[in-house]
Structure 1
C-alpha cells in the first residue's frame, strides 16, 4: 500500500513536470525544430533570444508592469483589509465579497470590460492600461491574503500603540505593517508571478509596447522553434527564482 502511494506521488510529479522538462530539454536543440530526436546540446538559441532587442524590451516591460502593478495592488489591498478588519461598517460583508469577486471572473471578461471602459474614456491601449488591468486581478488576491492574516493580537498591539501616543499613520506603518510582513511579502510575490505570466489582459490592452507573453505569442504564430522553448525556459526560471525567494523570506519565517 505504501508503494502504491509512492507510485501515485511519482506519477503526479511526472504529469506536472514532464512538459516543463521537455520544454527545457528542447531549448538546447541544435536543429531548427524542437522535436525528437534530440540534437545538441547548444546554447545558440539562448544567445539569439538574449540578443533580440524586441524580446529584451518585452522582458523589461513585463518586469516593470509586474512590479509596479503588484506594488499598487498590495498597497490598495492593505488599506482595504485594514479598514474592513478594524472598522465595522454597514454592509462590510458585501464589500468584502465585491473585493474578492474579480477572482471568480474570467480574465477575458475583465479584459473586455476594461477595454470598453478605456475606449469610452479615450485611453489608448498601452502598458499603463495593462498595469491597471493587472491591479484589478491582483487586488482581490492581496486583500484576501492580508485580511486573513489580521488577528486579535495585532489589534491589541495597535491599541497599545495608540495609547502611547502614536498617530494612525504611525500605527499603520510602524506596527501593523511589520506584523504583517510575511503576508505582505507573500501577496506581493504572488502578484508579481501572476502579472508576469498573464497573457489575455496584456494582449487586449497593449498595442506597440508589449509584454513578454504577448511577444512569445507573436513568435508562435510563425511556428515552433527552439527559440520559443528557450524563452519559456527563461520565464520558468524567473518563476522558480520568485518561489525560492518566497520560501527563504516568507514561508521559512512563518514556520519558525
Structure 2
C-alpha cells in the first residue's frame, strides 16, 4: 500500500510530460514526418526554423507583446491593489470583484468584445491591439497576486516611514514596491508565460504581424512536420527558462 501513492505520482507525471517528451524527441527526427520509428538524432529542423525569417519574426513579436503587456499589467495591477488595500473606497468589495471577474470569462468572449470596441474606435489591428488584449486578461491575475501580498507588515512599515517624514511618493517607491517585489515579479513572470503562448486574442486582434502561436497554427494547416516539433520544443524551452528564472529570483529569495 505504501507504493500506491508513488505509483499514482509516477502515472500523473507520465500523463503530463509524455506528450512533451514525444514532441521534443521527434523534433530531432531525421525524416520528414514526426512519427515512429525514430530516425535521428538530427538538428536539421532546428537549423531550418532558425533560418526561417517568418518564424523568427513571429518569435520576436511574441516576446515583445509578452514583455510589454506584462509590464503594463503589473503596473496597473499594483496601482489598483495599492489603492484598494490602503484606502477605504465606497463599494471596494464590488470593485475588487469587477477587477477579478475577467478571470472567469472565456478568452474568446473577451477577444470578440475587444475586436468590436477596437473596430468601432477606428483603430487598426496590430501587435499593439494584441498587447491591449493581453493586458486585459493578465491585469486581473496581477491584481489578485499583488493584493494578496499586501499585509499588515507592509502597512506598518509604510506608517513608520510617514511618521519619519517621508512623502507619499517615497513611501511607495522606497517601502511598498521593494517589499512587494517578490509578488510583482511572480505576477510578471506568470503574465509573460500566459501571454507567450496565448492564441485566441492574438488571432482576433492582429492582421499581418502575428505572434508565434498564430504562425504555428498557419503551419499546421499544411500538415504535421518535425519543424512544428522543433518550434514547440523552443517554446517549451522558453517557458521552462521563465519558470526557472522565477524560482531563482523570487522563491529562493523569499526562502
* 1:56 shift after superposition: 0.5
Residue 160 of structure 1: aligned partner = 160
**In structure 1, distance between residues paired with 2:119 and 2:70:** 24
Number of the residue aligned with 2:65: 65
**CA distance in structure 1 between the aligned counterparts of 2:2 and 2:217, rounded to whole angstroms:** 44
Cα deviations across residues 125-162 of structure 1 (Å, max 9, x unaligned)? 10000000000000001000000000011111111111
Aligned length: 255
Which residue does the alignment assign to 2:236? Answer: 236
CA deviations on 1:207-247 (whole Å, 9 max, x unpaired) are 00000100010100110000000000000000000000111
- 1:110 CA displacement: 0.3
Measured against aligned partners, the alpha-carbon deviations of 1:181-219 in whole angstroms (never above 9, x if no partner) come to 110110000000000010000011000000010001010
TM-score (norm 1): 0.99
Give structure 2 stretches of 5+ with no counterpart: none
**Superposition pairs of residues 38-117 of structure 1, within 5 angstroms:** 38-117=38-117
The one-character-per-residue Cα deviations of 1:15-68 (angstroms, maximum 9, x if unpaired) are 000000000000001111101111111000000000000110001000000000
Please name the residue that 2:122 is paired with: 122
Measured in 2, the distance between the counterparts of 1:217 and 1:54 equals 13
| Distance of 1:29 and 1:13 partners within structure 2 | 24
Q: CA RMSD in A?
A: 0.6
Structure-1 residue corresponding to 2:180? 180
Deviation of 1:170 after TM superposition, in Å, equals 1.1
Aligned-partner SS, 2:64: helix
Name the residue aligned to 2:219: 219
Q: TM-score, normalised by structure 2?
A: 0.99
Q: Which residue of 1 aligns with 2:3?
A: 3
Q: Deviations over 1:91-147 (max 9, x none)?
A: 000000000001110000000000000010001110000000000000001000000
* 1:200 aligned onto 2:200: yes
Unmatched segments (≥5 aa) in structure 1: none
Question: Which aligned segments of 4 or more residues in structure 1 are displaced greater than 2 angstroms?
Answer: none
